[in-house]
């Protein structure tokens, strides 16, 4: 019975950013990536008449069966923070599951981030920071961290494959732009794998 | 073809597949993506249609009237305030017996101005003589638009497809977009029942006086009621062609042996079904009934579907001020004489999230027979009480909307 | 004997006569033809002497002739719509659609788009309404149709008030005119000055392909303008002055006389414009003081004594000033020709 619908089996993600940074696009790419991987997905923004720079949220659910619910994501399994200036400003981690994952777009290590006791909520190995904006500027030439963050998500959780993300990028963007984004995806993926490897061995010691 | 796309895009694709001759619209949130997508298709040569950038919603519906009157298949989309602005024309097109299809991206009516979803806009035109279909998912949104053109032209009646604004229009989900060949098999070229043709001139739109008005209106209602007969076999035909169930009048969910039945329309049914499943897992005899065709009202089908229910909870996204639930009142009429308690739960007004947990609480109360007759889901009673107090204390208490907003802001800062 | 030359002016009465026996058959107007279309045929319920019934028949017959009947008409709510289609009868012999009061320009846009989409662009579209439906409630729709340059000829029949509903003031009602909503009592009787719209000027401001004014007194001129309009594509506007005996308080036999006087005083300028530029004006050959026009209408009776002498000189002077301004602005004087 429980497996007939998506609610109990679906992974719930919440993405936080500021208007104009591509947070909604990130959720959309995520949903398409999951689709490419043969999964069901639902993505939608928290709507408003936000102007550039105002905090925005977008939601995504990914699962192996159809997703019916329409509630916003109040109990995320994954929180992605596209803009580190939101830390301490907005309630980013409300409802986060104790087994949840957090990805923060930041160029400093996790320990230096103002995470408000987050490490008491979830294991340290579940939190990564990735310099997504820097990676984006390097490969794409624009400060749009969303594709890099999806690469990080893939590495951290395995929820979606990098191939899925890249297919999603190819659907959305012209070939040159898609390939540039794909390079950002792969670099972020590698960064997180490395960071996680360190974190796991640090936790083990 | 399976795609993961935004609801607006899905609707645009469905409309384009129906080969409209004239498309026009005036921009309003949250319908803009639909019209922009169609406009892009016309510009790219993918859709051969006249695309008219009109100056108002009144103009949009009027363009539809003119186009339909000369035998062109015509389409527009609007929401909320835009629907009110074209209200005269909405009644006019139905009264003139012209087929037209419109997407209503459901959005709350102001004042106060609100761009988010609820069903107050659809409710405001329920007596206008249009067929009103409600989509639960973006797949249904696609399938219902194709059905809408079919039905409109068959009956010579305008049809609106209600698609929850933002919740569906801006959600990216998996849909199966039909092939052109499939839609062409379902939708023949438009053959009007009456048309402006210089070779056989007619006058359309005469004044009708007391001696004939009643009969003309009675006939219009008969025509609308025919949709109740025509829609099920038509939906079946569409289902057969598309290989999936296209909704017609009502959509039952786990109704067998259900004591309590939850009735609702639109996307909220998705959340409701999750709650139903959870409660069924707990052994409760509860089910749901989706109303897909709201007008004409499928009274008999609803009565039959609720045959074994002992209690009904109507969850609706609108209400009649100073009166109560709108859908609930219609449902009560459908089951009149059976003595079943009907509960109204007014939820999701102005885009407020409808939480599964809150619905669960209501449904549990229904099972316990402790649910009130009317519930405003997640109402902030303290804020309301404070404003009532303000109004009682002084004559110049200020505008309520602004007071409530300030109250909430102050509380959240504290 | 003096050799001084005196200018002689000829007024050809024949040009005012519908039959035009002085003109060769191929140059006679549509109304003189026994085989005329009668797009608006007899049996309608208009008042005796209704200028609008005349104007509509003239205009649509001319349009029908020049399009070989490939024509669809859209009508706004108003006198014309009401008196022409008393259910269950219609006096229209062409395809005709009435929707609402405010939307005839938009409906016509839809008809034109629909016809084009069906490959039937040879069928032409005319929208028509009164001054209320055109200048007031329909102004937004009209402006939209103009700015899109939709392929519609819009004809406004201007009787200077909401006549169908009982003679209420519209934005086309002239200063000092009495209507049911501009009383003839008070310091300044009748409609106030300094308000109102002149829609032909608004149409010119949109720079549409063709704008013209005409009256039922000059049949040749009116038909020529309709035909010229129908020879073009895009948004076109024709504004026809149509006296209303009931609303103006004039004799039903004075309709054509009043139309002519309106022209000859300069109060109703007759001209043509293309793409926002004045291209021609109908010269006033025989200038008439405004009181000769006003005196024949009870809506202006408060300006006169019972024997017809001017009582309110100040107001009449204001009206005269408007006429003078029109003559200057639209180059109606012989000196401009």
Residue A69 has which token pair?
Answer: 């619910």
Residue C173 · residue C162 · CB < 8 Å = no
CA distance C77 to C58: 20
Looking at chain B, which residue has its C-alpha nearest residue A33?
B4
pLDDT at B189: 94
CA distance A75 to A80: 13
Which string of DSSP letters, residue by residue, matches A25-39?
A: HHHHHHHHHHHHTT-
- List the beta strands (DSSP E) in A93-203: 101-105, 127-130
Query: Is C71 domain-assigned?
Result: yes
Q: A59 contacts in B (CB within 8 Å)?
A: none
Residue A4 pLDDT greater than 50, yes or no: no
At C14, the pLDDT band (50, 70, 90 cuts) reads very low
Residue B7 · residue B173 · CB < 8 Å = yes
pLDDT at A49: 58
Residue bearing tokens 């659907």: A171
Residue C337 pLDDT greater than 60, yes or no: no
pTM of the model as a whole: 0.93
Q: In which region does residue B339 sit, left (phi positive, over 0), alpha (psi from -120 to 50) or beta (all else)?
A: left
Residue A7 pLDDT greater than 60, yes or no: no
pLDDT at C189: 77
Taking one residue from A and the other from B, the number of pairs with CB-CB distance under 8 angstroms is 77
Residue C303 · residue C313 · CB < 8 Å = no
Q: What is the mean pLDDT of residues A134-163?
A: 95
Give the Å distances, CA to CA, from B319 to A12, A136, B109, B250, B346. Answer: 32, 49, 11, 21, 7
Q: What total number of domains does chain C contain?
A: 1
CA distance C149 to B80: 29
Q: Which residues pair with C211 in a beta bridge?
A: C237, C273
CA angle B369/B375/B381 to nearest 5° reads: 125
Contact C71 B202 (CB under 8 A): no
Query: Which residue in the set A27, A43, A71 is minimally distant from B355, CB to CB?
Result: A71
Query: Is C179 domain-assigned?
Result: yes
Looking at chain C, which residue has its C-alpha nearest residue B207?
C87
Would you tell me how many other CB atoms lie within 10 Å of the CB of residue B88?
17
pLDDT at A6: 43
Q: B170 contacts in A (CB within 8 Å)?
A: 44-45, 47
Residue C84 has which token pair?
Answer: 């022409």
The answer to whether residue B162 neighbours chain C at the CB level (below 8 Å) is no
Query: Is C8 domain-assigned?
Result: no
Higher pLDDT, residue A6 or A170: A170
Contact C82 B207 (CB under 8 A): yes
Interface test mutation site (partner B, options A31, A70, A75, max chain B beta carbons within 10 A): A70
DSSP assignment, residue B406?
A: H
Query: Is C2 domain-assigned?
Result: no
pLDDT at C13: 53
The answer to whether residue A28 neighbours chain B at the CB level (below 8 Å) is yes
Residue C134 has which token pair?
Answer: 């055109």
Contact A47 B115 (CB under 8 A): yes
CA distance B136 to B150: 20
DSSP, collapsed to helix, strand or coil, labels residue C26 as helix
pLDDT at A8: 54
| Among candidate residues A94, A91, A93, the one with its CA nearest the CA of residue A80 | A93
Query: Is C25 domain-assigned?
Result: no
Looking at chain C, which residue has its C-alpha nearest residue B71?
C114
Residue bearing tokens 């290989």: B243
CA distance A176 to B276: 48
CA distance B120 to B110: 9
The answer to whether residue A19 neighbours chain B at the CB level (below 8 Å) is no
pLDDT at C23: 75
The answer to whether residue B112 neighbours chain A at the CB level (below 8 Å) is no
Query: Is C22 domain-assigned?
Result: no
Distance from CA of C144 to the nearest CA of B (A): 5
Q: B268 contacts in A (CB within 8 Å)?
A: 70
Listed as ranges, residues in chain B with pLDDT below 70 are none
Looking at chain C, which residue has its C-alpha nearest residue B89?
C100
CA distance C18 to C200: 27
Contact A43 B171 (CB under 8 A): yes
Phi, psi of A36 (to 5 degrees): -60, -30
Q: C123 contacts in B (CB within 8 Å)?
A: 70, 198
pLDDT digits (tens, 9 = 90+) for A24-65: 999 999 999 999 999 999 999 987 656 778 889 999 999 999
| Among candidate residues A153, A132, A146, A152, the one with its CA nearest the CA of residue A177 | A146
Q: Which residues pair with B374 in a beta bridge?
A: B344
Residue A63 · residue A11 · CB < 8 Å = yes
Residues 71-90 of B with CB under 8 A from C: 71-72, 74, 88-89
Query: Is C104 domain-assigned?
Result: yes
Residue A184 pLDDT greater than 90, yes or no: yes
The answer to whether residue B210 neighbours chain C at the CB level (below 8 Å) is no
Contact B267 A70 (CB under 8 A): yes
Distance from CA of B27 to the nearest CA of C (A): 15
CA distance B342 to C287: 80
Residue C61 has which token pair?
Answer: 């017959």
Contact B172 A71 (CB under 8 A): no
pLDDT digits (tens, 9 = 90+) for A86-138: 998 888 999 999 999 999 999 998 888 888 788 888 998 899 999 999 999 99
Element (H, E) at A55: strand A55-63
Query: Is C175 domain-assigned?
Result: yes
Q: What is the mean pLDDT of residues C304-326?
A: 96
Q: A43 contacts in B (CB within 8 Å)?
A: 171-173
Q: Is B122 exposed, middle or buried (0-12, 13-18, 19+ CB in 10 A)?
A: buried
The answer to whether residue B128 neighbours chain C at the CB level (below 8 Å) is no
pLDDT at C74: 98
The separation between the first and the last C-alpha atoms of chain B, rounded to the nearest angstrom, is 52
CA distance C201 to C207: 10
Any idea what the CATH number is for the domain that residue C109 is in?
3.40.50.970
Q: B358 contacts in A (CB within 8 Å)?
A: none
DSSP, collapsed to helix, strand or coil, labels residue B40 as helix
The answer to whether residue B27 neighbours chain A at the CB level (below 8 Å) is no
Touching partners of A (3+ C-beta pairs < 8 Å): B
DSSP, collapsed to helix, strand or coil, labels residue C91 as coil
Q: Which residues pair with C241 in a beta bridge?
A: C158, C215
CA distance B226 to B249: 12
State the virtual CA torsion across C133, C138, C139, C145 in degrees, nearest 10.
-120
Phi, psi of B339 (to 5 degrees): 70, 25
Contact B173 A41 (CB under 8 A): yes
pLDDT at C28: 84
| Among candidate residues B275, B290, B288, the one with its CA nearest the CA of residue B245 | B290
Taking one residue from B and the other from C, the number of pairs with CB-CB distance under 8 angstroms is 164
Residue C47 has which token pair?
Answer: 């008042």
pLDDT digits (tens, 9 = 90+) for C100-148: 999 999 999 999 999 999 999 999 999 999 999 999 999 999 999 999 9
CA distance C242 to C217: 9
CA distance A57 to C292: 74
| Among candidate residues C119, C117, C111, the one with its CA nearest the CA of residue C94 | C111
pLDDT at C264: 96
At C18, the pLDDT band (50, 70, 90 cuts) reads low
At C32, the pLDDT band (50, 70, 90 cuts) reads confident
pLDDT digits (tens, 9 = 90+) for C194-251: 999 999 999 999 999 999 999 999 998 999 999 999 999 999 999 999 999 999 999 9
Strand duo B172-176 + B2-6: pairing: antiparallel
Residue C168 pLDDT greater than 50, yes or no: yes
pLDDT at B1: 96
- Cα B197 to its chain centre, rounded Å, is 34
> Is 0.95 exceeded by the ipTM?
no
Q: Is B357 exposed, middle or buried (0-12, 13-18, 19+ CB in 10 A)?
A: exposed
Q: Which residues pair with B320 in a beta bridge?
A: B324
CA distance B71 to B81: 29
Measured in residues, chain C has a length of 337
pLDDT at B412: 80
SS3 of chain A: CHHHCCCCCCEEEEEEEECCCCHHHHHHHHHHHHHHCCCEEEEEECCCCCCCCCEEEEEEEEECCCCCCCCCCCCCCEEEECCHHHCCCCCCCCCCCCCCEEEEECCCCHHHCCCCCHHHHCCHHHEEEECHHHHHHHHCCCCCCHHHHHHHHHHHHCCCCHHHHHHHHHHHCCHHHHHHHHHHHHHHHHHHHHHHHHHHHHHHC
pLDDT at B142: 98
Would you tell me how many other CB atoms lie within 10 Å of the CB of residue C10?
6
Residue A5 pLDDT greater than 50, yes or no: no
Looking at chain C, which residue has its C-alpha nearest residue B65?
C107
The separation between the first and the last C-alpha atoms of chain A, rounded to the nearest angstrom, is 42
Omega of the bond leading into B303 within 30 degrees of 0 (cis) = no
Query: Which residue in the set B167, B273, B280 is minimally distant from A68, CB to CB?
Result: B273
Residue C83 · residue C51 · CB < 8 Å = no
- Cα B165 to its chain centre, rounded Å, is 10
Residue C250 · residue C297 · CB < 8 Å = yes
pLDDT at C24: 79
Contact C96 B196 (CB under 8 A): yes
Looking at chain B, which residue has its C-alpha nearest residue C109?
B63
CA distance C265 to A10: 82
Query: Which residue in the set C87, C114, C116 is minimally distant from B212, CB to CB?
Result: C87
Owning domain of residue C152: 36-329
pLDDT at C60: 98
Give the Å distances, CA to CA, from B177 to A184, B12, B139, B170, C263. Answer: 32, 11, 8, 17, 64
């Amino acid at each position: 019975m429980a497996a007939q619908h998506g609610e109990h089996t679906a992974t719930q993600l919440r993405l936080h950013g500021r208007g104009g940074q591509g947070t909604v696009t990130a959720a959309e790419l995520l949903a398409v990536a999951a689709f490419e991987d043969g999964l069901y997905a639902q993505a939608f923004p928290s709507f408003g008449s936000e102007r550039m720079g105002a905090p925005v949220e977008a939601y995504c659910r990914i699962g192996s069966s159809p997703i019916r619910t329409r509630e916003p994501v109040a109990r995320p399994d994954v929180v992605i923070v596209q803009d580190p200036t939101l830390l301490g400003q907005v309630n980013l981690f409300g409802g986060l599951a104790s087994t949840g994952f957090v990805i923060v777009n930041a160029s400093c290590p996790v320990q230096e981030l103002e995470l408000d006791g987050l490490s008491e909520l979830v294991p340290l190995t579940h939190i990564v920071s990735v310099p997504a904006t820097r990676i984006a500027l390097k490969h794409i030439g624009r400060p749009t961290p969303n594709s890099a963050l999806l690469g990080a998500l893939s590495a951290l959780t395995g929820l979606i494959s990098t191939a899925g993300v890249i297919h999603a990028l190819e659907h959305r963007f012209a070939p040159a732009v898609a390939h540039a984004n794909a390079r950002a995806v792969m670099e972020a993926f590698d960064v997180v794998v490395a960071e996680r490897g360190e974190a796991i061995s640090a936790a083990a010691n | 073809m399976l795609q993961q796309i935004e609801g607006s895009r899905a609707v645009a694709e469905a409309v384009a597949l129906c080969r409209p001759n004239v498309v026009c619209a005036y921009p309003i949130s949250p319908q803009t993506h639909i019209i922009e997508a169609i406009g892009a298709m016309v510009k790219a040569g993918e859709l051969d249609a006249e695309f008219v950038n009109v100056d108002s919603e009144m103009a949009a519906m009027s363009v539809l009237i003119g186009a339909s009157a000369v035998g062109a298949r015509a389409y527009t989309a609007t929401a909320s305030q835009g629907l009110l602005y074209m209200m005269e024309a909405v009644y006019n097109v139905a009264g003139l017996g012209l087929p037209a299809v419109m997407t209503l991206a459901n959005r709350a009516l102001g004042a106060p101005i609100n761009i988010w979803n609820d069903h107050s806009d659809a409710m405001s035109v329920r007596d206008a003589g249009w067929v009103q279909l409600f989509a639960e998912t973006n797949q249904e949104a696609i399938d219902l638009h194709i059905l809408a053109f079919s039905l409109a032209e068959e009956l010579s009646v305008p049809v609106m497809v209600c698609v929850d604004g933002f919740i569906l229009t801006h959600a990216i989900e998996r849909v199966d977009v039909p092939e052109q060949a499939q839609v062409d098999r379902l939708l023949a070229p438009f053959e009007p029942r009456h048309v402006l043709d210089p070779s056989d001139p007619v006058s359309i739109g005469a004044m009708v006086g007391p001696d004939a008005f009643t009969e003309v209106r009675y006939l219009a209602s008969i025509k609308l009621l025919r949709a109740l007969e025509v829609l099920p076999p038509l939906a079946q035909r569409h289902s057969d062609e598309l290989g999936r169930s296209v909704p017609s009048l009502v959509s039952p969910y786990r109704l067998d042996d259900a004591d309590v039945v939850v009735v609702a329309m639109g996307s909220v049914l998705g959340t409701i079904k999750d709650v139903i499943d959870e409660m069924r897992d707990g052994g409760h005899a509860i089910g749901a009934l989706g109303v897909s065709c709201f007008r004409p009202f499928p009274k008999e089908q609803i009565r039959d579907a609720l045959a074994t229910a002992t209690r009904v909870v109507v969850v609706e996204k609108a209400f009649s001020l100073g009166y109560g639930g709108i859908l609930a009142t219609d449902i009560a009429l459908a089951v009149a004489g059976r003595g079943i308690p009907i509960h109204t739960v007014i939820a999701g007004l102005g885009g407020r999230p409808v939480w599964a947990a809150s619905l669960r609480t209501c449904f549990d109360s229904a099972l316990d027979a402790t649910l009130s007759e009317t519930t405003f889901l997640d109402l902030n009673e303290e804020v309301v009480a404070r404003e009532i107090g303000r109004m009682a204390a002084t004559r110049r208490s200020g505008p309520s909307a602004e007071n409530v907003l300030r109250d909430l802001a102050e509380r959240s800062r504290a | 004997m003096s050799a001084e030359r005196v200018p002689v002016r000829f007024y050809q009465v024949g040009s005012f006569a519908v039959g035009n026996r002085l003109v060769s058959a191929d140059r006679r107007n549509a109304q003189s033809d026994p085989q005329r279309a009668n797009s608006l045929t007899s049996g309608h319920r208009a008042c005796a002497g209704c200028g609008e019934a005349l104007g509509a028949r003239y205009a649509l017959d001319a349009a029908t002739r020049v399009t070989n009947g490939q024509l669809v008409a859209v009508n706004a709510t108003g006198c014309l719509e009401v008196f022409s289609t008393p259910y269950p009868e219609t006096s229209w012999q062409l395809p005709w659609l009435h929707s609402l009061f405010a939307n005839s320009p938009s409906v016509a846009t839809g008809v034109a788009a629909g016809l084009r989409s069906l490959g039937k662009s040879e069928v032409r579209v005319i929208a028509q309404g009164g001054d209320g439906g055109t200048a007031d409630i329909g102004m937004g729709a009209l402006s939209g149709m103009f700015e899109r340059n939709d392929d519609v000829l819009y004809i406004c029949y201007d009787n200077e008030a909401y006549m169908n509903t009982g003679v209420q003031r519209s934005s086309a009602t002239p200063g000092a005119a009495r209507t049911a909503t501009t009383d003839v009592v008070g310091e300044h009787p009748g409609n106030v000055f300094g308000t109102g719209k002149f829609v032909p000027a608004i149409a010119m401001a949109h720079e549409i392909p063709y704008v013209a004014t005409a009256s039922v007194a000059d049949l040749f001129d009116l038909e020529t303008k309709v035909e010229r309009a129908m020879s073009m594509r895009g948004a076109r506007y024709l504004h026809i002055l149509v006296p209303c005996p009931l609303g103006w308080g004039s004799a039903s036999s004075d309709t054509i006389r009043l139309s002519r006087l309106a022209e000859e005083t300069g109060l109703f300028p007759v001209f043509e414009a293309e793409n926002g530029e004045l291209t021609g004006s109908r010269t006033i050959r025989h200038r008439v003081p405004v009181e000769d026009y006003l005196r024949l209408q009870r809506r202006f009776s408060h300006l006169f004594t019972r024997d017809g002498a001017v009582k309110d000189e100040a107001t009449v002077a204001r009206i005269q000033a408007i006429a003078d301004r029109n003559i200057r602005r639209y180059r109606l004087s012989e000196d401009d020709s």
